[in-house]
Amino acid sequence: MKRLKLERGKEELISTGGNYLCGHILRELAREQLPEGFQSRREGAISDRDVLLTMTGLLCNGRSDFTNVNQYFEDTVFTQSFGIENLPSESTLRQRLDELPQARSHLALRQLNESALKVRSFGAVRAGELDLIPVDIDVSPLDNSGSHKQGVSFTYKKHDGYALIFAYIGTEGYMLNHELRPGKQHCQEGTPKFIGSCVQTLDKLKVIERLTDPDGNLLLLPQIEVNTYWTNLPCTAQDVVELYHDHGTSEQFHSELKSDLGVEQLPSGKFCVNQIVMLCAMLAFNTLRTIGQEVIARAPLAPIKIKVRRWRLKTVLQNIVYCAVRVIRHAREIKLHFGKNCLWYEIIEHIARSPGRT
């Protein structure tokens, strides 16, 4: 067996060629929905659009810390794919996100997310004789224990962090909306009071009697938990129960955001900055989800058998985003050469040939 030797070459090699597809989905929409600047700045200053696209691009690569931007200063694929004209430094990224006007930037990012979702089709569930698109709403805390960030406080999961409420649409789990909340905020805060009075009028309940707390301590008085289902769906009670059981799938979506994208420990100590980071994370989440669904739609072209209806974001990152490319510059053009052993090239090329708003 021959020994391997190490040498530094002169070729421009990038390990994340799949960013091309992320930009394919986001770039033009971002130019329409994100203003170049929310406020006037000196000539030559990095635009607000570049700042937001940089943060979104980092999250599309599973990186949430501001320091990660230092890895992309020589990455032509990253900047060109996302349409970033000037990549901010770590300190600039941190400072500019803090300076962004909250209301206007939130609105622009949400409108961008809505525009991206408008061109998607969503999987439905069967309810009696109807095919309905589900919207799952749930609270899932982010563990930021040991930090002193604004809004971090004791959550119902018994750790310090934030309490985010999420809304996912479709069986694929696109993120429809979310809200960053302080950890101590109760998940039902603001729920209309009439729900409690309606529960008292029920003739028959599903009732759970708890004699111990989650830690195993005996209770002086038993806790009574009542599960009720209110619906106007024209289907049986059992159908409604089965639909609610499927709501548990949304827990997998939380896991993908936290572990696959690395969005558990939010990067800033300021609550307002983390709100913007989470909106960028929503865009990244849906961008990777879109790529995954486009791959599944082209399953016959894949080098492996695909039998699932949804790819985890981690699978998208590993198989598509982290594909290595060689950057070739010639005659004022930039070409990306995927290696001859790139198993996913045919699918990547097929998606790239489709309209940007797939």
Mean pLDDT for each consecutive 10-residue tract of the chain (358 residues)?
89 94 94 90 90 97 96 95 96 96 93 89 83 82 93 92 88 89 74 33 53 76 68 77 76 91 93 96 96 95 92 96 94 92 94 72
Q: What's the CA gap between 75 and 87, in Å, rounded? A: 10
Q: Report the 10 Å Cβ neighbour count for 320.
A: 25
The predicted pLDDT at position 227 comes to 61
The predicted pLDDT at position 250 comes to 79
CB-based contact 69:89 (threshold 8 Å): yes
The predicted pLDDT at position 185 comes to 80
**pTM score, whole prediction:** 0.86
Residue environment code for 38-47, b if the CB has 16+ CB neighbours within 10 A, otherwise e: beeeeeeebb
Q: And the tokens for 260? A: 């696959």
Domain ranges within the chain, ordered by starting residue: 12-117+268-353
Name residue 175's beta-bridge partners: 168
The predicted pLDDT at position 225 comes to 65
Furthest-apart CA atoms within the chain: distance in Å: 80
The predicted pLDDT at position 55 comes to 97
CB-based contact 187:164 (threshold 8 Å): no
The phi and psi torsions of 102 (rounded to 5 degrees) equal: -60, -55
CB within 8 Å of 291: residues ≥ 6 apart:
18, 21, 22, 25, 316, 320, 321, 351
Taking phi first (over 0 means left), then psi (-120 to 50 degrees means alpha), and beta for anything else, what does residue 214 get?
alpha
Q: What is the DSSP string of 4-30?
A: P-----SSEEES-TTHHHHHHHHHHHH
From the centroid of its chain, how far is CA 86? 24
